[in-house]
Chains A and B, each alone.
Chain A
């Protein structure tokens, strides 16, 4: 979920009238642009995308980087085909548009659709590439349309000059029965540098391949993108929380071996981690059932169901703290009991405390307390003496 500002450079030159990509090169390009915009805005809600055309009367910015998908889709209407593609000017204007983005924290990226022939020298393109690299702008090039060895060589050189740590890519799409957008779905342009891919891309790929239920969480991201995003985010949060809990549990088990309770918690924790790990591995092959189970867990956690891992982590915290310091354990008990005292009447409490079996059962349920511990036993004895003392005081006062 990289925070990114993207400028898409569209080729609307005369060469886009050709029908070797169905229905026309221009239409295939427009579909691909729509798909990219959707993927970018879904992968991170703060991403912005802008569009400019490179041919026609000159390079024209149709929409400056915005996160409003509707605006972007609207500007794609009524575009006219004509003229010749001006690659260098297009990239430079895109760079300028990105420079003036509102959120300076966003990474800069330019996506170029190069359909027509490239009239610039390789040297010029390499200079432009170096300048992009210097200003840490990433560049993705989609080479389609005109097939020309010189063009391919120039574009490869351009991307090689810009490439910094595999952030820039070039994709060659030959004409054929596959739609341009389908071919692009499997490329790094969509999957975003191997970050695990956006659920959007995976879902769309499954739909395109005619898969049965390829949508994560049974919700079509196209129909309800916000819900799909919310579910995916909660899933990732749950996974992160479980991993953190598992880590903590691992620390605990290395610290102290006394509590049988914590070891059982470890078992449940490691189970959950195992299931989440297997989930992340087989993302595409997941059955609906597994996802439902994890989703149930996520929902249950958000509703604070005591049977879930949240409480387990809290218990782990307590036991970890208590194990370190016996005095702390006593203090914890006292505070718990004092709290109980404040609530109910004193006489009632006195009766309850006098009931040693009740007290010992309470203490046993508290994590980090071993009822057979001598200091605990002393405390119990003193607790029992206290109510008796209080009764004596009362009698004296009277």
Chain B
């Protein structure tokens, strides 16, 4: 579901549309299978700098094109569309799968879980393609996980820019601290139905 962004950017300021990067909690952004730890932070920048690779880019390890990018936000956001600028020579990702509000997704989880939405990507080297989301599913996003399972045949995958378009609300999802549930089962806490005389009431 790609739509072409085919008007010249002088007419209106594209950069204000793609400003959701300001609401990303950059220090907590992480990626799995990145060649240089921490390089994932460099792909979130302003629209104007989407093609410049001054700050570096996100590259996967040699021989393995899979990538997972975990993006936490500073407040809940609604994501309207996503833009990806990949690398040349087949290093652009060919497919993207998104998961929302799940922490700690690794490759085995990503492969077995049903994604919230999946897209087939084109080699978008100029950054003019954007991929719309099913907006109703992307309301109240506290964190976003993007899984790129494959690329266009290159030895490794390269991503130069990830742009997000949408709105930021000022709300924050309820952060529940790590709860330790009961360490040892306490039978008195769990009254089974047979003990309390059955769950069904019957009239005789």
Contacts and interface: CB of A to CB of B under 8 A. Distances in A.
Interface of A: 99, 102-104, 130, 133-136, 164-165
Contacts of A135: 32, 106-107
A104 B104 contact: yes
Interface of B: 32-33, 37, 61, 64, 66, 103-104, 106-108, 178, 180
Nearest to B60: A134
Nearest to B106: A135
Contact of B61 (A99, A104, A134, A165): A134
Contacts of B33: 133-134
A17 B107 CA distance: 40
Q: Which of A103, A134, A136, A164 lies at the interface centre, i.e. has the most chain B CB atoms within 10 A of its CB?
A: A134
A134 B66 contact: yes
A103 B104 CA distance: 9
Contacts of B108: 99
Contact of A134 (B103, B107, B178): B107
Given A136-B32, A164-B37, A104 B180 contact: no
Nearest to A46: B178
Nearest to B178: A103
Contacts of B106: 99, 135
Given A99-B106, A102-B180, A134 B64 contact: yes
B2 to A, nearest CB: 29
A318 B118 CA distance: 56
Contacts of A130: 61, 64
A237 to B, nearest CB: 21
12 contacts: A99-B106, A99-B108, A103-B178, A104-B104, A130-B61, A133-B33, A133-B61, A134-B107, A135-B32, A135-B107, A136-B32, A165-B37
Nearest to A135: B106
B157 to A, nearest CB: 13
A230 to B, nearest CB: 22
B188 to A, nearest CB: 23
A208 to B, nearest CB: 34
A134 B32 contact: yes
A136 B60 CA distance: 12
Nearest to A66: B183
A104 B32 CA distance: 14
Given A99-B108, A133-B33, A135-B107, 16 more contacts: A99-B106, A102-B178, A102-B180, A103-B178, A104-B104, A130-B61, A130-B64, A133-B61, A134-B32, A134-B33, A134-B61, A135-B32, A135-B106, A136-B32, A164-B37, A165-B37
Contacts of A102: 178, 180
Contacts of A133: 33, 61
A134 B149 CA distance: 13
B64 A104 contact: no
